[in-house]
Amino acid sequence: MLSFASDYTEGACEEILQKLAETNRESLPGYGMDRYCQSAARKIQEATGCPEAEVYFLVGGTQTNAVVISSILAPYEGVVAAQTGHVSIHEAGAIEYTGHKVLQLPEKDGKIDPADLQEYLQNFEADANHDHMVFPGMVYLSHPTEYGTLYSRKELQAISEICRSYEIPLYLDGARLGYGLAGEENDLSLSEIAHLCDVFYIGGTKVGAFCGEAVVFGEKNVPAHFITRIKQQGALLAKGRLLGIQFDVLFTDGLYERLGRHAVEMAAALKKGLKQRGYTFFRESPTNQQFVILENDRMEQIEKEVSVSFWERYDEDHTVVRFATSWATREADLEHLWEILDRIEAEREK
């Protein structure tokens, strides 16, 4: 079935497959101590403009969030996130499972508004009872957000400054970072992100890899015994090579950027085609995820032929669904989509 359900419906990009085959019989040490992990780390140091960066490879996004957040927070601290942040609602309580509260702020287009953050931190400091409250110990952003939106340079700078003035680390979840960097109107480079945040991760799973996320600590700020923390949370891959090789490939010859650009181009074409056909968008997204409001009966009809993702109930009669493109989307997929949608509309008009 034609699928726009998500950006993790195919395997891995060809370059990765090929490299896995080429290196397969090399005998390498485990747990990320192999030369491909080292090579990938060096390439990421270069791409981020952080020659001192320490890079760790984990398997998936929720895992990465739980390991990074719980390793940085003190026991009496929580992580500040937008109420629509992935850690707030779609990780089955993975952060709370590590004993920490997610301190939720209102969302604006899926983002934290710097003014809301400033106000929250100010009020916390001023609250005479704050010893009985969870201390804000970290700020979590997703970029792109769960609604495909992006922080502008100005917004990220503002948030970064607030965090630094309160001495609170800033963490950016880049599960779809490749699609953000290629986003329409994006004005943030990978290096700027690296320098404005204290720690962030570059998503592989959704951008061309079988699995894998690269956590980047820019400035000698890795939590003590981080390898042991990773192990303790069941997140240390024995064959770390699987992650190292994939990121080594993604950060060779600009592949990561190319994959991102392709998906965003496909998304732009998707958006244009849907708008031309009169579909209503739930939010305006400049990246690879597009959110459309569908009448429930139309949705059911479409879902017989096209796989999309349920996002949320809109009202009694409407649902928000997500169409996602990815590095693997082909132009033929779009053509196929138009054919199906046009046929459905024609049938409905009868």
Distance CA 33, CA 247 (A): 14
Q: Which residues are CB-neighbours of 130 under 8 A, at least 6 positions away? A: 124
Please calculate the CA angle 309-313-316 and round it to the nearest 5 degrees.
Answer: 135
Residues from 23 through 52 that contact a copy of itself (CB under 8 A)? 23-30
Distance CA 110, CA 312 (A): 14
* Nearest residue (CB) to a copy of itself, 20 versus 191: 20
Binds a copy of itself by CB under 8 A, chosen from 46, 52, 93, 253: 93
Identity of residue 287: T
Residues from 196 through 255 that contact a copy of itself (CB under 8 A)? 205-206, 210-211, 224-225, 227-229, 231-239, 241-242
DSSP code at position 59? S
Conformational region of residue 9, where left means phi above 0, alpha means psi within -120 to 50, and beta covers everything else: alpha
Piece of the chain touching a copy of itself by CB under 8 A; list 61-69, 158-166, 263-271, 340-348: 61-69
- Minimum distance from residue 158 beta carbon to a copy of itself (Å): 22
Residues from 158 through 187 that contact a copy of itself (CB under 8 A)? none
- Minimum distance from residue 154 beta carbon to a copy of itself (Å): 26
- Minimum distance from residue 83 beta carbon to a copy of itself (Å): 9
Residues from 310 through 349 that contact a copy of itself (CB under 8 A)? 310, 312-313, 328
* Nearest residue (CB) to a copy of itself, 172 versus 243: 243
- Minimum distance from residue 30 beta carbon to a copy of itself (Å): 5
With binding defined as CB under 8 A, does residue 1 bind a copy of itself? yes
Residues from 129 through 158 that contact a copy of itself (CB under 8 A)? 129, 131-135
| Residue in 87, 47, 67 with CA at minimum distance from that of residue 225 | 67
| DSSP assignment of 31-50 | TT-SHHHHHHHHHHHHHHT-
Distance CA 137, CA 198 (A): 13
Compose the 94-113 pattern: x for residues touching a copy of itself by CB under 8 A, - for all others. Answer: x-xxxxxxx-x---------
